[in-house]
C-alpha cells in the first residue's frame, strides 16, 4: 500500500528525470535571432519561432512581431486575430 504523498513524490521524480536543459545560444546566434525579429516587426513579415520546452517536443509559433518589451525581455507575436507574449529566454531559433 502506498500513501498518496509517496505516489505524488514518485510521479514528480519520474517527471523530473525527463526534463531537458535549454541549450546556451552563442552570441552570434542571439544577434541573428534579434535581427530576424526586428525585420519581422519592421517589414510586417511572418516568421516561425522555435520555443524551448523542458518536457517533450519544442513548440513552433508563427506570426508577426508587433512589439518589443525590453524591460520584461519579451516580444509580442500576433497571429490570426490573436497575440501572445514570448520571453526572449524561451526562443531557440527563428525561421
Whether pLDDT at 78 is above 90 = yes
Average pLDDT, stretch 12-26? Answer: 84
- 31 sits in which H/E element: helix 27-43
Output the CA–CA distances (angstroms, integers) from residue 85 to 22, 54, 61, in the order listed: 19, 18, 11
Question: Under CATH, which architecture does the 22-94 domain have?
Answer: Roll (2.30)
Domain ranges of the chain: 22-94
How close are the terminal C-alpha atoms of the chain, in Å?
Answer: 52
Q: How high is the pLDDT of residue 45?
A: 97
Average pLDDT, stretch 68-94? Answer: 96
Q: How high is the pLDDT of residue 64?
A: 97
Mean pLDDT across the chain, nearest whole number? 92
Mind listing the pLDDT tens digit for each residue in 42-68?
A: 999 999 999 999 888 999 999 999 999
Amino acid at each position: 500500500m502506498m500513501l498518496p504523498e509517496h505516489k505524488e513524490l514518485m510521479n514528480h521524480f519520474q517527471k523530473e528525470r525527463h526534463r531537458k536543459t535549454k541549450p546556451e545560444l552563442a552570441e552570434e546566434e542571439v544577434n541573428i535571432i534579434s535581427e530576424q525579429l526586428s525585420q519581422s516587426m519592421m517589414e510586417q513579415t511572418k516568421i516561425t519561432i522555435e520555443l524551448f520546452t523542458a518536457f517533450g517536443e519544442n513548440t513552433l509559433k508563427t506570426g508577426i512581431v508587433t512589439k518589443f518589451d525590453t524591460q520584461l525581455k519579451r516580444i509580442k507575436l500576433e497571429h490570426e486575430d490573436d497575440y501572445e507574449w514570448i520571453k526572449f529566454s524561451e526562443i531557440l531559433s527563428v525561421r
